[in-house]
Amino acid sequence: MTKGQTLLYEEAVEELNRFGISGAQIYLIDLIPLIEMIWADGKAQVTEVSILVDYLKKHVKHINRLAGHRALTLEDAKAFVTIFLKKRPDPELLATLRSFIAPVRLAGSDPEQSENLKKSLLAACLDIGTSSVTAYPFEPNQRFNTAEKRCFFEILESFSK
């Protein structure tokens, strides 16, 4: 598959399976951009992780409501993100996993639901990016540092394709 090709849902799920992400876990790949934002400045800070956990709780409830049954548990979701929080994952791995969000989670039949998911993810990314700084004092335009800004715009661009 070339970088410019658009993946279909089935192909994306198959690729996720190759990464060990299967079953209900595929609904957790939405969390990858938040994990990218957490690591963008090189540090997983307590406040950033706290925002992720809050988002995670809402996300699991939302997925279960959409499914009409308990498809995910909060414990399983926490275990999924913990893998990416123990030590900084390869940024290319995260970018690859993020590329599966569009065909798996945003290409559904309900455009309003897809748009709401995008807005929710981007808002959480902004919350994470602005929640902590790595060095004090900081300039007024450096609360959201350059690496975090770059990461945010890469995420934004990937959702615009």
Residuewise pLDDT in 10s, the chain (161 residues) = 434 446 788 999 999 999 999 999 999 999 999 999 999 999 999 999 999 999 999 999 999 999 999 999 999 999 999 999 999 999 999 999 999 999 998 887 788 999 999 999 999 999 999 887 656 666 666 667 888 999 999 999 998 86
pTM over 0.85: yes
SS3 label, residue 134: coil
Q: Cα angle vertex 146, ends 143, 149, to 5°?
A: 85
Residue with tokens 């913990």: 82
Using the CB atoms, write b or e for 57-76: b if 16+ within 10 Å: eebbebbbeeeeeeebeeee
Residue with tokens 């307590």: 46
- Quote the CA–CA distance of 161 and 148 in Å, as a whole number: 21
